[in-house]
Structure 1
């Protein structure tokens, strides 16, 4: 097999790889590094844990060493934790250069970030929202001379969904030069990325693993069919079962919402499990602390939303449990990719309710593999069912008393104010629109009832507070 020297990398970079225990380049590195060194745009799609980050960090560092200036490279990523992980790779591999980097993410002091940006770091690693805020509010730094623009987890950045980065990306793309190298990397190839492949102009190079959007062979994938109402008891039973069999295992439990994540963490702690939560409604310092405690094995169980599903490399994770069946196969692929990384073994278990069978079929079709049934003793689950339900309810009451949902509303108001909108007027406008929709719906139902000759037509009932015409 080719070594790092055969990729065209300088001797100092090859030595850095050797010191870090990187003996042979992975397929994505073999495919992408030479093309990037040639000055071509690159779109790389490979399985999670396949070394995609090093595939762009290594050639960027080589080019930086030939002509060092700041700001040389901008890396965009969807989550704060991933931004810090990428920065760590730049620091470790670029230590001989005296590399200066700057991390620009939400939840941290904007003034301190602005000062760092004004000092012209070589590499800026950012989440789109916070970087766009800096571009709109500050003129102390410029991205007009960057050589590289990298979009890591590009499918997540470019697709519209629950977190839409479109407006922020437009602001950023307007601030970077047209002549640049653009590198896009992801574990899942989507229609959005396929379109970009056709739009790229700088001699684009496209590299795709032979089995894209599939999970690795070392991953043992199982499911447990559970009734919706007893899902938590099954989760507790599984955690106890794996903890008894493997005391040193680190486990990530993925949930669908911040509230569920927090409740489950509180519940598991109360039941004696060493658990810590990670979700977007936590303060950034709390998120860092939670991740650090999990990585250092102070806590063996991480309860997380999908903020932890992308790119995070924690070598000690042996088990991933999906508390909810992901609605999209690619979310499942990213979640279970937190284990069985870099050739190691791993296991993934998904709790599947009676409403999730079609989701499992979609996942199996995408990964080209059937999930195997994991046998669970139902009698053992029923023994703890009452205790788990009581503790869960206690935790929910405690969380409600702490006004957990208020932070989300406060953040929404802040965002509207930043956009120059009056939050109270917006709320009033939404209420009026909802009222009009309800009125239209009642009128439609009245018309349908009349046309269907279902007895004598009745006038549509008035909404509460509506006056006479």
Structure 2
């Protein structure tokens, strides 16, 4: 932070920053100014304007001159960007590259259909099968949460697939070290959350595996975009459970491409299933005994403090929201149960009347 402040005091011509860090510098010191800024470039604009960085961006815009050119870059066009275009004071020049498909031709896309209970066994067998055919291949595995990322990393390391993990709970220095090892091919498997689905440019990744199917198709596009870069051939394999099939169809509709099935030998999965399950359970126990969840809570509170919020007040708000949500859900369930009972009673009465009419109509 101090070193960055010193660099900023030298009045550089170009500053590349994350919103949070730049806002923090602007509020905490007066050794530099943005008064003479001519160009503001917002990369990954769809994510930056999603609401997650509103407070930081508001702080930054307070320090910017009114007269400037703003350029927004995004791989995907969403509703937020359309709104920005409509509410802009000056005329907005929009250039959008049109393509029939959202993924490149050099990318081969597959799915592996597997039961949810044995998904981790299928993951290990998928890695083993691909490694057998491409011994020196670099593989990137995406999963949904920091916890799952850490568990998969520990499990794969224990069953013989050396890897590094990349998620928000890992300190910045360790993240950079992990990326360096992966980039330099010292370690050829990287397990990550969606924190790594954007911005990383590692041209040598041959395979991307989706341990979970993203609920938003555009997240899938960002993930598989880590391979088949700069004209190279790449491969993406998604593990799909029966409950995920609707998500798979949604992705296929967006990318205008049908995924092919990647055949995994179920008998081979059965052989390693017990080992993988036991290893993952041991990893879960170790993680529960560590301060992983505590670190998560500390990081959350730190983030709130940096945003100028009171952590205790914010946590109270979160708990109240959860309580109201549970209360609302309980009310909905109760109403549905009452309606079901009422409909059942109405149906019984209708049947009774129907029987009575039939009896009256009988010629005795």
**Which bin holds the TM-score, normalised by the shorter protein?**
0.7 to 0.9
Q: Residue 296 of structure 1: which of 141, 163, 184 is its match?
A: 184
1:114 counterpart residue number: 5
Residues 450 and 250 of structure 1: is their aligned pair in 2 closer, same or farther, counting only changes over 3 Å? closer
Q: Which residue of 2 aligns with 1:168?
A: 56
1:345-378 Cα distance to aligned partner (Å, 9 max, x none): 1000000111111111111111111111111111
CA–CA distance in 1 between the matches of 2:338 and 2:108? 58
Q: Structure 1 residue aligned with 2:296, among 376, 389, 408?
A: 408
| Equivalence for 1:69 | none
Partner of 1:263: 151
Q: 1:132 aligns with which of 7, 23, 29?
A: 23
Summarize the alignment of residues 303-382 of structure 1 with structure 2, pairs less than 5 Å apart.
303-382=191-270
Correspondences of 1:52-451 after superposition (within 5 Å) = 110-160=1-51, 164-200=52-88, 204-211=92-99, 214-418=102-306, 421-428=309-316, 431=319
Contact 2:140–2:208 (8 Å) recurs in 1:
yes
Q: Output aligned runs, 1:448-467, within 5 Å.
A: none
TM-score norm. by structure 2 comes to 0.87
Q: CA separation in 2, counterparts of 1:374 and 1:453?
A: 50
| Structure 2 Cα separation of the partners of residues 290 and 280 of structure 1 | 13
Pair 1:170–1:374, CA change in 2 (3 A): same
Question: Within 1, Cα distance between the matches of 2:177 and 2:79?
Answer: 37
Are the structure 2 counterparts of residues 222 and 171 from structure 1 closer, same or farther at C-alpha, using a change threshold of 3 Å? same
Change (3 A) 1:373 1:446: closer
Output the CA distance in 1 between the equivalents of 2:312 and 2:318.
Answer: 10
Shift of 1:118: 1.3
Counterpart in 2 of 1:46? none
Measure, in 2, the Cα distance between the counterparts of 1:335 and 1:211: 18
* RMSD (Å), alpha carbons: 2.5
Q: For residues 309 and 45 of structure 2, what CA distance do their matches in structure 1 show?
A: 30
Report which stretch shifted further, 252-261 or 432-441: 432-441
C-alpha change, 1:183 and 1:419, in structure 2 (3 Å) is: closer
Displacement after TM superposition at 1:178 (Å): 2.0
CA distance in 2, matches of 1:410, 1:244: 42
Sort the Cα spacing of 1:390 and 1:448 in 2 relative to 1 into closer, same or farther, 3 A.
Answer: closer
For residues 98 and 9 of structure 2, the distance between their equivalents in structure 1, rounded to whole angstroms, comes to 43
Of residues 444-453 and 146-155 in structure 1, the stretch that sits farther from structure 2 once superposed is 444-453
The TM-score with structure 1 as length reference comes to 0.68
Is the alpha carbon distance of 1:348 and 1:129 closer, same or farther for their aligned partners in structure 2, counting shifts above 3 Å?
Answer: same
In structure 1, what is the Cα distance between the partners aligned to 2:324 and 2:78? 38
Displacement after TM superposition at 1:420 (Å): 5.2
Aligned partners of 1:240, 1:205: CA distance in 2, in Å?
49
Deviation at 1:196, TM superposition (A): 2.8
User: How many Å separate the matches in 2 of 1:436 and 1:330?
Assistant: 31
Task: Please say if residues 213 and 333 of structure 1, whose CA atoms lie closer than 8 Å, have aligned partners that are also in contact.
Answer: no
Q: What is the number of equivalent residue pairs in this alignment?
A: 343
Shift of 1:427: 4.1
Offset of 1:309 from its aligned partner? 0.5
C-alpha deviations, 1:161-220, integer Å up to 9, x for none? Answer: xxx111111111222122212111121111222333344566643222221770001100
The CA distance in 2 between the partners of 1:297 and 1:272, in whole Å, is 17
The more displaced of 187-196 and 300-309 is 187-196
Q: Distance in 1 between matches of 2:260 and 2:332?
A: 48
Please state whether the residue corresponding to 1:189 is helix, strand or coil.
coil
Q: Offset at 1:453? A: 6.6
Separation (CA, whole Å) in 1 of partners of 2:331 and 2:108: 54
Question: What SS is found at the alignment partner of 1:251?
Answer: strand
Aligned-residue offset at 1:430: 5.0
How far is 1:293 from its partner?
0.4
Q: Structure 1: which 4+ aligned runs deviate by more than 6 Å?
A: 439-451
The verdict on how the C-alpha distance between 1:199 and 1:439 changes in structure 2, with shifts beyond 3 A counting, is closer
Match of 2:350 in 1: none
Structure 1 residues 319-364: Cα deviation after superposition (integer angstroms, max 9, x where no partner): 1000000111110001000011111110000001111111111111
- Bigger radius of gyration: 2
